[in-house]
Amino acid sequence: MQIAVPKEIKNHEYRVALTPSGARELVGRGHTVTVQAGAGEGAGFPDAAYEAAGARLEADVTSVWREAELILKVKEPQPEEVARLSKGQTLFTYLHLAAEEPLTRGLMESGATCIAYETITAPQGGLPLLAPMSTVAGRMAVQAGAHSLEKAQGGAGVLLPGVPGVAPARVTVIGGGVVGENAARMALGLGAEVTVLDKSIPRLETLDDRYQGRMKTVFSTADALEEAVRESDLIIGAVLVPGAAAPKLITRAMLAEMKPGSVLVDVAIDQGGCFETSRPTTHAEPTYLVDGVVHYCVANMPGAVARTSTQALTNATLPFVTALADKGWKQALADDRHFAAGLNVHEGQVTYRAVADAFGLDCVEAATLIG
Ligand SMILES: NC(=O)c1ccc[n+]([C@@H]2O[C@H](COP(=O)([O-])OP(=O)(O)OC[C@H]3O[C@@H](n4cnc5c(N)ncnc54)[C@H](O)[C@@H]3O)[C@@H](O)[C@H]2O)c1
């Protein structure tokens, strides 16, 4: 199969959809891999590494797209990329269509088959192609929070682990899912005193079991949140209510109860944020102050560690890419109903219920297309 890897063009996106090792695997299976010149540079993969892996390099973006049967990307296609897609091509990338009507309609008009990373499911539950980025963001949240606690960043001047004779900082993580567990684990590793709040008792049980009481688990109530606000040096927002905007769990009025120079890291900012005073920021200027509290609200945290993120993402996508390349989209999805959950648009029709419902469009179930 002819596989193309264009360079990402979204602002400040440095990841790439395939590493040189991934290219080598595909070439070894008899496929042709064309990589747009410079596509891997931002993630630390030079053109020469792709060439050494047996991929073709192509400088002309039009040729990269035109000749491909399967196009691998990271971010949702930008308008000029949508215009390059055509019927018979398969696009495999993050799409997040339920929040993007113009993109949904553009992909329908293209006639292409569009499979979204984020709606693929796993037999054991969860979203296997979303989890790697949540893992990265959760781990980064503590790094970002620790840095923000430094005086020069507007923080209280507190070192997370403390030192002998000085108590460690108190870190509260709200939401103990993939982001939350990874954040809590990092904070524990750095020697902080860690509390995780969640609404799900099974989730709290899992964390309690896994960490043998080394982190406190607390059922998330208004009381628990008020206590967290009063006591914490660093609060990490990591809640997710599937299909809904994040609930505003800390209001502006509550900031008055926080210690001056304490830090809020709102990882859920990509779903609107879980603190009332959160607004999206970028890596160029990640933080701002409200009422003496430092806010870190970067919406694409994994972008800052493009190399690790690329490797984590492509480790997770490669088995699916291989199946698409070896069998074609129809057979690959027919063989794996969890993979089939990734099909969002095919030849002008929406094939994912939540996307169709979001825009009042008809939905053709993926199962009826693949038999
Ligand atoms: N900013 C970024 O760069 C970035 C990167 C990755 C993920 N995210 C976001 O991080 C958030 C968390 O993602 P995840 O993968 O960990 O989701 P997840 O589904 O694994 O975990 C979410 C957890 O929040 C809990 N929860 C829901 N409502 C709650 C409440 N009121 N109080 C306490 N807990 C509550 C759920 O029970 C669940 O355990 C999502 O909004 C996701 O989009 C952001």
Distance (Å) of CA 347 to CA 97, 114, 344: 16, 9, 10
The mean pLDDT value for 57-81 works out to: 97
307 is in an annotated binding site: no
Q: Which atom of ligand 1 is nearest to the CA of 225?
A: 32
Q: Which atom of ligand 1 is nearest to the CA of 178?
A: 16
For residue 139, give the nearest of 179, 192, 176, 170 by alpha carbon.
Answer: 179
Q: Which residue has the tokens 């933080």?
A: 287
Both tokens of 247, joined, read: 């609930």
Pairing verdict, β 349-350 and 343-346 = antiparallel
**Which ranges in 29-177 belong to alpha helices (H)?**
47-52, 61-66, 79-82, 101-110, 131-148
Give strand ranges (E) for the chain.
Answer: 2-5, 32-36, 56-58, 70-72, 90-93, 113-116, 170-174, 193-198, 216-219, 234-237, 263-266, 287-290, 293-296, 343-346, 349-350
Q: Ligand 1 pocket test: pick from 13, 124, 134, 172 the residue with the most ligand atoms within 8 Å of its Cβ.
A: 134
53 C-alpha to center of ligand 1: Å?
Answer: 37
203 is in an annotated binding site: yes
pLDDT, position 241 = 83
Those residues with Cβ within 8 angstroms of residue 272's Cβ, 6 or more apart along the chain or in another chain? 245, 246
pLDDT, position 44 = 97
**pLDDT single digits (tens) 276-320:** 999 999 999 999 999 999 999 998 899 899 999 999 999 999 999
Query: 67 pLDDT exceeds 80?
Result: yes
Distance (Å) of CA 371 to CA 43, 87, 339: 39, 20, 14
249 C-alpha to center of ligand 1: Å?
Answer: 13
**pLDDT single digits (tens) 17-53:** 999 999 999 999 999 999 999 999 999 999 999 999 9
355 is in an annotated binding site: no
Q: Which atom of ligand 1 is nearest to the CA of 133?
A: 6
Q: Which atom of ligand 1 is nearest to the CA of 131?
A: 15
Residue 12 designated active-site: no
Residue 270 designated active-site: yes
134 is in an annotated binding site: yes
175 C-alpha to center of ligand 1: Å?
Answer: 6
312 is in an annotated binding site: no
Give the chain's domains with CATH numbers: 2-120+305-370 (3.40.50.720), 131-299 (3.40.50.720)
Q: Cβ < 6 Å from ligand 1: which residues?
A: 133-134, 137, 174-180, 197-200, 203, 220, 238-241, 246-247, 249, 267-271, 299-302
Look up the pTM and report it.
0.91
Q: Ligand 1 pocket test: pick from 267, 269, 301, 305 the residue with the most ligand atoms within 8 Å of its Cβ.
A: 267
Confidence band (pLDDT; 50, 70, 90) for 81? very high
**Pair 274, 247: CB distance under 8 Å:** yes
Confidence band (pLDDT; 50, 70, 90) for 371? confident
Give strand ranges (E) for 200-298.
Answer: 216-219, 234-237, 263-266, 287-290, 293-296
Confidence band (pLDDT; 50, 70, 90) for 243? low
Q: Ligand 1 pocket test: pick from 240, 249, 250, 276 the residue with the most ligand atoms within 8 Å of its Cβ.
A: 240
The mean pLDDT value for 154-169 works out to: 98
Q: Which of 47, 270, 336, 346 is flagged as catalytic?
A: 270
Residue whose CA is at the smallest distance from ligand 1 atom 10: 268
Give the whole-angstrom CA distance, residue 38 versus residue 66. Answer: 18
303 C-alpha to center of ligand 1: Å?
Answer: 18
Give the whole-angstrom CA distance, residue 15 versus residue 72. Answer: 12
For the four alpha carbons of 147, 151, 157 and 163, in that order, the dihedral sign comes to: positive
pLDDT, position 272 = 87
Average pLDDT value for the chain: 96
279 is in an annotated binding site: yes
